Structure 1
Amino acid sequence: MEFKYKSKISEVKKYDTIAKVYLSYYVDPVNNEINKLEVNNHELLSFNDHPTSIIKKNWDYNFEGFNEVKKYSPKFVTNFTNKAYQKQKLLNEIKFKINYQFMALNLNDLKKYEKYSVKKAEFIKVDNKEQLDNFVKIVGTIFSDEVTDSKKFYGIFEEYQKVSELYIIKYDDQYVGTGHLTHFDENITVIDDIAMLEIARGKGLATFLMKSLINRCLEKGQKEACLFGSKMAFNIYKKLGFKEEDFWLEQFKVVY
């Protein structure tokens, strides 16, 4: 899989991989190019028909020269860091939004889940337009389109099916959840775009989805699965064996 974003984020291979996945496929990788501009030692990424983003690496939360950057009307600061935000003072124009911690699952000694199910639930690989349209709709509902371009999955589905797999959960004849696997030659799989509609929560579907995705990684012979975990889903990931590591993805909103 070709990364649209090519600059190094981290010296640690798996951290660098997951960060490049996030940045490269923030928008449609087939129909939307990334334009990168260096402004006062900040990387400003801009995209056609989608909000621009400032990229930082191990940011100290100071922001010199912000007025110069502000001329380009960025919407977000995305920070990849080995030390998470601890309520340090920010510019008035920068507001903390959310952070996600890197988590990894060693697949080497893990056996497939054989007996797990949720009544009326199906785990389906996306392979037609109806399923793809529903996948895009669910992601767009759960995640703001300012944070990720939900339409990107049309390009991913079109171009990257050999390494990128989209899955959807159908429950009681309704599409309610999504999951995305991206497999790499280093036998690492990035798990992303885990989304579950509110009407389907509290029924065990998130665990059903994750176990199904892990089984697929094992079928592919992968050695490690990794993701950025939110606090809301932390307990699910930990119960499945994912371990936290000191690498974070942080999002900050620029307020005008």
Structure 2
Amino acid sequence: MFNDQDGIRITPTFYFVQKDGKNRRLVDLYYHSDTARFVKIGSSADVERRNVILNSRLRNVPGQDLVDTSSTLWEMFSGPRGWQVTKQRYMEKYIKDTSKKTYVGGYDVQILTAPLRTFRGNMYGLPAGVDIYRANAAVQQWYGEYSLPAAVYVVPKGTNLAQYGGRLDDKSKVFLKDGYIVVNFTIETIRNGDTSNPYLQYIRRSNSPYYGVYDNQWRDMEGFKSSFTTPYGVTFGSVDGDVLYYNADKSSYDDFNSSGTH
């Protein structure tokens, strides 16, 4: 997982659950774009492009990780690939490029690629004969970010909004309210750009060649719990991969308002 064509694919699935924690169901999400109303996430009209900057100020990526990663990449690949650039020049360009945008996908799927990966393996005090650069590349951290559109509209999965014609507005009764949107992630590793055959998965699935072989990372490493209780005494059941809850009655527009002094 240290080649240029390796990556992490994150595929969200959307659910709706009532505020009392009951009646969880699959849903489709819609939003308004700059050019169209009620665009379905994952449809051909959903063309929003999401970008991530590795070395953005608020991401707080350790500077030493960038130095070590650039050094390791040059040591591992400059010889086999016949690079003519010096190590110092390569490292300078690598670190400069970490402040550029990297395209990751849209709302329906994202692939974190090599520019969003750092190597974090220990390089010091290793036994004699251990390749310190392979040791550094053996532990990795991948950076990404995910959010839904500022305002989303929730309908039971498979609902055909076209049948409503031009009669839809933001308050139409077809949209689910009084509950939460649950974003569930399927996380897979991609090796050598082969998106059709994921290398590893974060969760064991019955149709996976890795089923029953590797641990369920959510439960065995992340401490995932099958339920949680809110401060208001409401218990919600959780499914492996649940990562985000959005209030279906709110939007980020609610966080802002305009006003004047006179």
TM-score normalised to structure 2 length: 0.25
Question: Higher Cα Rg: structure 1 or 2?
Answer: 2
User: Structure 1 or 2: larger helix share?
Assistant: 1
User: Structure 1 or 2: larger strand share?
Assistant: 1
TM-score normalised to structure 1 length: 0.25
